[in-house]
Amino acid sequence: MMPKNRRNQWKQLLQTSETMGYESSVAFSRKDALPGMQKRILTLLFIVSVGVACSPAGSDPTNGASEAELYGNTQPHLYLSGQFDPYSHVGFTTLEKAGIPASRKGMVLRKETTEALKKMLFRFKKDHPNIRFWVQSATRPFNSQKGIWEAKWNGQRKVSGMDLRTIKDPLKRARMILEYSSMPGTSRHHWGTDFDINSLNPAYYRSGTGKIIYEWMLANAPDFGFCLVYTEGRDGGYQWEPWHWSYRPLSAPMLRDWNRLYDANKIRTNFSGSDAAFHLAPEYVNTIGAACK
């Protein structure tokens, strides 16, 4: 983790860069700009550029997030497995309060996620003012994910047209559910960083409006910190999910913590089939698009 004093230095450098970037645009646009001012601007911009160039290779700004910044007063193993109340957690806000279109009221995401999402939606509307864009699904606590899982496990919801009670092998039954649904305690939707957009049907994104949205997201979402989690062409894990996006500045350190706590046997859950299938969790949690790692 980056030391606190180093993080503060970076913040100062970035603030200086932003300020001097603005001053330079003003100063160099004026014919009467003082030579001394121009020299000062160039010197400070040079210092900032050297600081960036000399940063450790492969450094990741998400390494600097503290435990308190990530989880608040919630214990990390409970937060990451969805065993807390996001609706009362100080780090979350509702989508309607944030002004983000959603499929229903009451959905929540982390405040940092909604701030980035609002900025992204502003650009999307500038590029495609006549296309609707909304959040279909957001944060799901453990019990919500458990409800989805067990409805499929117990045959209340069919999977690919099948009643899974006809599959007696619990591991095979779990694998069928895991094509598109996470085991409770392993879903990224627990974290407040991940959300689904518009349609949960892959065919929607192959043509028409869905394809326009998907291609725009691939090209522009990274500018706002978002990555596509379940990309095409992966070896294993969930199926391609063109609707599932993640706010990486938070989700990347959370993923590292989830793995650390799982290895320490602190991610503990109980649901139908957990005894047979929970050992599969790391495979599905970590088989994700490279941009989200």
Same domain (yes/no): 128, 203: yes
pLDDT of residue 280: 97
Coil, strand, or helix at residue 9?
A: helix
Identify whether residues 207 and 84 lie together within a single domain.
yes
- Single-letter code of the amino acid located at 278: F
Dihedral of alpha carbons 217, 219, 225, 229, sign: positive
105 in the same domain as 48:
no
Instruction: Indicate if 72 and 13 belong to the same structural domain.
Output: no
Boundary residue ending a domain (41, 59, 77): 59
Are 72 and 168 in the same domain? Answer: yes
Alpha-carbon distance of 215 to 107, in angstroms, equals 26
Distance CA 289, CA 87 (A): 29
Q: What is the pLDDT of residue 36?
A: 55
Q: Do 122 and 261 lie in a common domain?
A: yes
Whether 86 and 26 map to the same domain: the answer is: no
In terms of residue numbers, what domain contains 209?
68-292
**Whether residue 131 sits in one domain with residue 259:** yes
Residue 129's domain is classified under what CATH number? 3.30.1380.10
Looking at residue 48, its pLDDT comes to: 38
Which of 12, 28, 59 marks a domain boundary? 59
Q: What sign for the dihedral angle of Cα 250, 255, 261, 266? A: positive
The residue out of 59, 88, 103 marking a domain boundary is: 59
Sign (positive or negative) of CA dihedral 89, 92, 97, 101: negative
Q: Residues 191, 254: contact at Cβ < 8 Å? A: yes
Domain count, the chain: 2
50 and 175 inside one domain: no
pLDDT for the residue numbered 65 = 81
Contact indicator for 167, 159 with CB cutoff of 8 Å: no
Whole-prediction pTM = 0.79
Q: Please tell me whether residues 172 and 250 are part of one structural domain.
A: yes
Look up residue 288 and give its two tokens: 């994700």
228 bridge partner residues: 245
35-53 vs 4-27: helix axis angle to the nearest 10? 140
Q: Show pLDDT as tens, one digit a residue, over the chain (293 residues).
A: 444 444 444 444 444 444 344 334 333 334 444 455 455 544 444 443 434 333 333 344 455 789 999 999 999 999 999 999 999 999 999 999 999 999 999 999 999 999 999 999 999 999 999 999 999 999 999 999 999 999 999 999 999 999 999 999 999 999 999 999 999 999 999 999 999 999 999 999 999 999 999 999 999 999 999 999 999 999 999 999 999 999 999 999 999 999 999 999 999 999 999 999 999 999 999 999 999 99
80 and 21 assigned to the same domain: no
Clarify whether residues 178 and 241 are in a common domain: yes
